[in-house]
C-alpha cells in the first residue's frame, strides 16, 4: 500500500487559470534511507516561494513511497505512480511537473520514459494510471540521479549494499539503453548535476545525456557547483533555475 497520507503540500496556488499547474518533488535515499522524506524539500520550497515573492504560478507538493528492504522494486515506482494519480485527482492538477533527486530522479525517469527500468512491465506501461500522468507531464527535472545500475556498480561496487536491498536481482532493472524509451512529446527534460557531488560522479548524468542524444531527444542540462549530494535539493541556484524554467511556456 502506498503512503499517500504522507504527501506534503508546500503551497497551493490560487492562480489556476488557464490550468492548475503543479510541481511535485520525489526524494532520494538509495531506496532505503528513512532519513530522506518529502520534507527534504522544506527549505527548497521556501526558497522557491521567496524567489517568487510568495506567489508562484504553480502549486508545490512532495510525495512519499515505501522503502526497501520492506519492499522490493518495482514497489517504489508503483507507489510513486499511485500517489501521483491520487494527487492529480484530489487537487485537480492539469499540468504536472516533476523534480526528483538521486533515486527520486530514477523514479521520475521511469515515469517519463514509459517505465524503462521496470523489466517485463509492458502491461503496466500501458496502464490508464501511467497514461494519465504522461499526458499531463510538462517539465521533468532529473537532479544528480541514478539511471544505469550496471554502470553504478561498476563504478561503485560497494553500492551493492543498497542495490541488493532494493532489487531481488539487478536484471529486474533495465538500463535505458536496454529499454524501449518512449518520451511524451509534451515533456521537457532538464538534467541537473553538481560537480561537488561526492556520492555520484558525473558518469550517471553523462550516461543519461548520451542516451537522450542517441534518441535525438531534446533536453537541457545544467552543471555547476550546487554543493554535495544532499545539499543539491536545498540549493538556491537550483531553485532559481527551476523557477525560471517553470515560468517559460
Q: Which domains does the chain have, with CATH numbers?
A: 4-246 (3.40.50.1820)
Share of the chain above pLDDT 70, in %: 93
Residues annotated as catalytic are 102, 197, 229
Question: Which pLDDT does position 248 carry in this prediction?
Answer: 79
Q: What is the mean pLDDT of the chain?
A: 92
Higher pLDDT: 125 or 16? It is 16
pLDDT band at 173 (very low <50, low <70, confident <90, very high): confident
Burial 232-242 (b: 16+ CB within 10 A, else e): bbbbebbbebb
- For residue 18, say if its preceding peptide bond is cis, omega within 30 degrees of 0: yes
Question: Which pLDDT does position 160 carry in this prediction?
Answer: 97
Measured CA to CA, the distance from residue 125 to residue 219 in angstroms comes to 23
Measured CA to CA, the distance from residue 80 to residue 65 in angstroms comes to 6
Dig out the grid coordinates for 26 from the structure.
520525489
The stretch 212-236 carries a mean pLDDT of 96
Dig out the grid coordinates for 249 from the structure.
511556456
Dump pLDDT digits (tens) for 18-27.
899 999 999 9
The stretch 223-247 carries a mean pLDDT of 97
The stretch 170-185 carries a mean pLDDT of 81
Has residue 121 got a pLDDT over 80? Answer: no
Measured CA to CA, the distance from residue 222 to residue 210 in angstroms comes to 15
Question: Which pLDDT does position 124 carry in this prediction?
Answer: 58
Dig out the grid coordinates for 141 from the structure.
527535472
The stretch 46-70 carries a mean pLDDT of 96
CB 21 within 8 A of CB 34: no
Burial 184-207 (b: 16+ CB within 10 A, else e): beebbbbbbbbeebeebeebbbbb
pLDDT band at 49 (very low <50, low <70, confident <90, very high): very high
Measured CA to CA, the distance from residue 146 to residue 30 in angstroms comes to 9
The stretch 92-106 carries a mean pLDDT of 97
| Segment (H or E) for 140 | strand 137-143
pLDDT band at 15 (very low <50, low <70, confident <90, very high): confident
**Beta partners for residue 95, in sequence order:** 21
Dig out the grid coordinates for 88 from the structure.
492529480
At a CB cut-off of 8 Å and minimum separation 6, what does 202 contact?
Answer: 193, 195, 223
Q: What does DSSP say about strands 8-11 and 59-63: parallel, antiparallel, or unpaired?
A: antiparallel
Question: Which pLDDT does position 118 carry in this prediction?
Answer: 55
The stretch 214-242 carries a mean pLDDT of 97
Burial 171-181 (b: 16+ CB within 10 A, else e): ebbbbbbebeb
pTM, two decimals, is 0.94
- For residue 69, say if its preceding peptide bond is cis, omega within 30 degrees of 0: yes
The stretch 32-61 carries a mean pLDDT of 96
Measured CA to CA, the distance from residue 225 to residue 232 in angstroms comes to 9
CA dihedral over 90, 14, 80, 135, signed as positive or negative: positive
Has residue 40 got a pLDDT over 60? Answer: yes
Has residue 249 got a pLDDT over 80? Answer: no
Amino acid at each position: 500500500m502506498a503512503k499517500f497520507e504522507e504527501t506534503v503540500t508546500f503551497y497551493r496556488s490560487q492562480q489556476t487559470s488557464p490550468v492548475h499547474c503543479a510541481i511535485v518533488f520525489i526524494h532520494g535515499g538509495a531506496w532505503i534511507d528513512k532519513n530522506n522524506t518529502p520534507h527534504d524539500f522544506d527549505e527548497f520550497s521556501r526558497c522557491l516561494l521567496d524567489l517568487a515573492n510568495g506567489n508562484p504560478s504553480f502549486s508545490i507538493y512532495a510525495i512519499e513511497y515505501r522503502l526497501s528492504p520492506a519492499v522490493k522494486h518495482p514497489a517504489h515506482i508503483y507507489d510513486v505512480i499511485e500517489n501521483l494519480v491520487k494527487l492529480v485527482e484530489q487537487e485537480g492538477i492539469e499540468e504536472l511537473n516533476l523534480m526528483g533527486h538521486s533515486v527520486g530522479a530514477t523514479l521520475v525517469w521511469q515515469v517519463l520514459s514509459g517505465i524503462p527500468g521496470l523489466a517485463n512491465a509492458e502491461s503496466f506501461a500501458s496502464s490508464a494510471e501511467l497514461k494519465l500522468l504522461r499526458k499531463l507531464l510538462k517539465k521533468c527535472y532529473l537532479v544528480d540521479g541514478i539511471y544505469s545500475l550496471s554502470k553504478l556498480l561498476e563504478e561503485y561496487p560497494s553500492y551493492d549494499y543498497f542495490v541488493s536491498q532494493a532489487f531481488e536481482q539487478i536484471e529486474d532493472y533495465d538500463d535505458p539503453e536496454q529499454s524501449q524509451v518512449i518520451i511524451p512529446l509534451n515533456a521537457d527534460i532538464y538534467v541537473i548535476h553538481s560537480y561537488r557531488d561526492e556520492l555520484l560522479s558525473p558518469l550517471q548524468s553523462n550516461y543519461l545525456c548520451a542516451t537522450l542524444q542517441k534518441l535525438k531527444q531534446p533536453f537541457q542540462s545544467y552543471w555547476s557547483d550546487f554543493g554535495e549530494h544532499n545539499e543539491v535539493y536545498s540549493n538556491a541556484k537550483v531553485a532559481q533555475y527551476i523557477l525560471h524554467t517553470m515560468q517559460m511556456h
